[in-house]
Amino acid sequence: MSGHAVAIAHPNVALSKYWGKRPGEGNFPAVPSLSVTLAGLETRTRVTWVDAAGDDRVVLGGRALAASEAVRHVALLDAVRRAADHRLRAHVESHNDFPTASGLASSASGFAALALAAVRAAGLDWDASRVSDLARSASASAARSIFGGFVELGVGDSSARAVAPANQLPLVVLVCVTAEGPKAVGSTEGMRRTLEQSPYAEAWLARAPDIHAEIRAALLARDFERVGECAEGSALAMHASAIAAGVIYWNGATLAVLSAVRALRAGGTPAYASIDAGPHVKVLVRPSDAERARSALEAATGVKRVLDARPGDGARLVEAK
């Protein structure tokens, strides 16, 4: 048996953040999260199962990963091998059209595309929930990128689920890129240090489910401003807990963008910031305000460029044999 498949997946930005894992095995989040899948940025991944000796080969953006860098990829591929009951080696080739490993959720789109391509290339006819569960085992945020629009991953759930379609809220996400290159502390390590060392870890774990419920309700009520306020609150609470453990993802430009977002609001333009495990800032605005907001954000000191993303589709297969 051999086969190949190519899948495309998009990153997502969590409006209510996942930060912290439940104790034990299996990579389960300690808090619920709700995200929007972003069209406009994409990962394209090809998986070929080959009848050859040796290790899996994982090439990201033209660079072959060392075994120590490919641990999560190989664990995911092992799960597919077990399910398909074969011993083939995988050749994985993946490309992002946005900066990798810098807090632009490349692990979300990367593991979502890898899970879908690996499953289908192995000839397994899994539904989206099962593919989401596989993606979650590698990166919990990747479980959400399997689905399009607004997506939730509950505590104790093994897969994510769609909460509302992409057109639920008229939304543009302006991704302010504030640095090139990989982040200093990966999200798994950042979460671990936060839960072990932050004096505010318990406060974060206690508050996150309430923020999540508020965002969910505001989204279903199509209340853009409430969604934005709560999303910014979630990101700031997450980072406050991390910063108190010495896990600081921000740079000077991150703060400059936060100031620009406040200035936009003071000037009457509803704009809200979200920040993941990196220095970039994702700014939520209405489509009618996107151009004005973009000019203000591009002028913030240290911003390298501003990418435009909108609510979009989940992971999809573009080729399979």
- Rounded-to-integer distance, Cα 292 and Cα 294, Å: 5
Q: Count other Cβ atoms within 10 Å, centred on residue 224.
A: 18
CA atoms within 13 A on the CB side of 46: 12
Span interacting with ligand PMV, options 15-23, 82-90, 175-183, 255-263, rule CB under 6 A:
15-23
- C-alpha separations of 56 from 49, 115, 145, 305 in Å: 9, 15, 24, 36
Is 234 a binding residue for ligand PMV by CB under 6 A? The answer is: no
Nearer to ligand PMV, 21 or 46 (CB): 21
Residue 78, both tokens: 């092992």
Is 17 a binding residue for ligand PMV by CB under 6 A? The answer is: yes
Span interacting with ligand PMV, options 11-19, 58-66, 80-88, 192-200, rule CB under 6 A:
11-19
Binding to ligand PMV in span 28-67, by CB under 6 A? 33
Interface pattern 106-145 for ligand PMV (x via CB under 6 A): -xx------------------------------xxx----
* Residue whose C-alpha is closest to residue 161's, from 121, 216, 80: 216
Q: Considering only residues 188, 265, 313, 320, which one is a binding residue for ligand PMV as defined by CB under 6 A?
A: 188
3-state secondary structure 252-315: HHHHHHHHHHHHHHHCCCCEEEECCCCCCEEEEECHHHHHHHHHHHHCCCCCCEEEEEEECCCC
Tell the smallest beta-carbon distance from residue 143 to ligand PMV (Å): 8
Q: Considering only residues 8, 14, 177, 284, which one is a binding residue for ligand PMV as defined by CB under 6 A?
A: 14
Contact residues toward ligand PMV (CB under 6 A) are 14, 17-19, 33, 105, 107-108, 139-141, 187-188, 276-277
